[in-house]
Amino acid sequence: MEAIDQADVIPGRAELAAAMERLAGKVRRTPTLDLPAGDLSPVPVTLKLEMLQHTGSFKARGALNAVLTAPAGTRSICAASGGNHGAAVAWAAARAGLPAHVFVPATVPAAKAALIEGYGATLHRIDGFYADALAASHAHAQEHGAHHVDAYDAPAVVAGQSTLGQELTEQIEPGRPVLVGCGGGGLFSGVSLALEGRNPVVAVEPAAAPTLTRTLEAGQVVDVDVSGVAVDSLGARRAGDIAAAVAQRLGSTTLLVPDEAIIQTQLYLWSNLRLAVEPGGATALAAVLSGESLGRHPVVVLSGANGPALR
């Protein structure tokens, strides 16, 4: 397999530690919930309740780190998003006292659009897919001198997401597998780097959006057709270069789960635990409910509380 070489942009230990210090007291240290064997699977499961984070998802971590490390003299922020990243960027920009412009596909869920505007950002609906919104954000940055905050493929964003993994080093024992939902791969990359050599990290993708899986199969970043119930949050058509390089370097594995399992996981979380999680946020746990062999006492990150959620 051809090496996916992005070592020059993968954040190092110093960057991860700096992000942890920078975000201390600014993002929430989210709790874990231990469930005994029999509730979800034959083995105990620990849930990391990241949907309790500011803006309802882990995206707040990377967005705030990126905004706080923007070049001196930055006067405005822009981003492209399926929803959660846009809300996080709007929130982070507001905290920094900067105006934000967020570009989303016209199909963005109404709840996420309202959240973005609620944090004070200017929302731009773009016909097409995420890639079209991304092109519009880049054009805006070039025309207006705004600082573009990438959703998942930027060192500052990945370093910010790593703070979730760094928290886990104080919450779980070494050796336990950690499952994260994966779209473009920002959370997967950050958590993998934070837990490197301590806990294996598994990227769980919807079967209808197997972006990182297909990239690892091809040995290079490739475009993938995506669809399904989680497409607004895990529907990146192209894995990040950082995620691809991290996954290949660490020999990471991926799992695919069908939409039906994702929906059933949402229902389980609400019916049994009164946790309202959107499809993308429930995807990692769907692997457990689908009976995947995950080793002893898996840890699952739940993230994404911004609908469409089943209640």
In angstroms, the CA 303 to CA 127 distance is: 27
pLDDT at site 5: 54
- Which pLDDT score is estimated for 7? 56
Say yes or no to pLDDT of 139 above 80: yes
Is the pLDDT reported for residue 217 higher than 90?
yes
Q: In this predicted model, what pLDDT tens digit does every residue of 15-59 receive, in sequence order? A: 999 999 999 999 999 999 999 988 777 788 999 999 999 999 999
Distance in angstroms (rounded) separating the CA atoms of residues 85 and 183:
12
What was the pLDDT predicted at 235? 86
pLDDT of residue 42: 73
Phi-psi region of 240 (alpha: psi -120 to 50; beta: other; left: phi over 0): beta
Give the predicted TM-score (pTM) of the model.
0.94
Element (H, E) at 46: strand 45-49
Q: What is the pLDDT of residue 48?
A: 98
Instruction: Please name which of 186, 133, 192, 195 lies closest in space to residue 161, comparing C-alpha atoms.
Output: 186
| Tens-place pLDDT, residues 115-129 | 999 999 999 999 988
- Nearest of 189, 176, 165, 208 to residue 296 by alpha carbon: 176
Pairwise CA distance, residues 87 & 77, whole Å: 12
Q: What are the structural domains, with CATH classification, of the chain?
A: 13-57+155-302 (3.40.50.1100), 71-148 (3.40.50.1100)
Give the bridge partners for 201, in sequence order: 178
For position 189, what pLDDT does the model report? Answer: 98
Q: Where are the beta strands (DSSP E) in 90-211?
A: 100-105, 122-126, 147-148, 178-181, 201-206
Q: How confident is the model at residue 3 (pLDDT cuts 50, 70, 90)?
A: low
User: How far from 67 is each of 10, 88, 97, 139, 146, CA to CA, in Å?
Assistant: 18, 10, 10, 19, 11
Per-residue confidence (pLDDT) for residue 304, from 0 to 100: 86
Using one digit for the tens of pLDDT, what is the confidence trace for 65-92?
A: 999 999 999 999 999 998 899 999 999 9
Q: Give the pLDDT of residue 4.
A: 55
Where residue 311 falls among pLDDT bands split at 50, 70, 90? very low
Task: Provide the token pair at 271.
Answer: 């019916």
